[in-house]
Copies of this chain bind each other. A is one copy, B any other.
Amino acid sequence: MELQAQQPTEEGGSIQAAGSSNRWAPTPPQLRILKGLNYDKGFKYPTPEQIQEICLHLKQYGQIEDKNVFFWFQNLKARERQKLKEFRNVPVGGSLDLNFRSTSSTDDGRSIDLNFGSRVGYGVDGSIMEQRGEYHQEIETLPLFPMHGEDIFGNMKTTSEGGSGYGGGSRISLELSFNSYRDADMA
C-alpha cells in the first residue's frame, strides 16, 4: 500500500469534536485497571466476552469501546515480544555494545496505587463488581470471571460438526479450510 488512506485530516466521523484527536487514550483509572488485570493474573488473552466485560467496567472511567480493550491487549503482547526479540539481536561478533537501555518500559511499575478512591456503586449484572469499600494494596481484583488455571485460555475448539466447505463447486482440498465450529460460550 503506497499510502494508506488513513488520513483523518477531515474528521473520520468519530465521536470527537472536530479538531480533537479521534484516538482513544486510556484515562488513568482505565489504565490502572488494565494493567492490574494483566499483572495480577497474567491476563493476556481475553476472549471477546471478557473484552466486553472489561470494557463495560471501564466505561465508568471514560469513554471506551471494545476495540480499545482489544487493541490494548493486543499491543501489550506484541510489544513484549518485540522487546524480547530485540534482545536476541545482540551482536555475536567480537565487540559487544551494551548500548541498550534497560527493559523498563513506561510501566508505572508495580507501584501502582490501585486505590479505588472513587466509589461507584456499579453493578449492572454482578459480573463486574469491584468497588466494595475494601481494597488492598494489590491490584484490583476484578472478578470478571472465574479463572481456574488454564481457564484463561478457555478457548478450546470444540471440534463439532464437520461442516462442509463450500456449497458446491470446488472440491479442492485446501488444508486451510478447516471447518471447526467453535461456540465460545461461557458463563
Contact = CB atoms under 8 A, between A and B. Distances in A.
A50 to B, nearest CB: 9
Contact residue range for chain A?
A: 35 or more
A166 B27 contact: no
Contact of A85 (B48, B122, B165, B172): B48
Contact of A173 (B65, B165, B176): B165
A106 interface: yes
Interface string A149-187: 001110111001011111111111111100000001100
Interface SS, A side: loop
A151 B176 contact: no
Interface string A93-121: 10111011110011000000000001100
Contact of A93 (B26, B63, B89, B162): B63
A14 interface: yes
Interface of A: 1-6, 12-16, 25-28, 31, 45, 47-49, 51-52, 56, 59, 63, 65-67, 70, 74, 82, 85-89, 91, 93, 95-97, 99-102, 105-106, 118-119, 122, 124, 147, 151-153, 155-157, 160, 162-176, 184-185
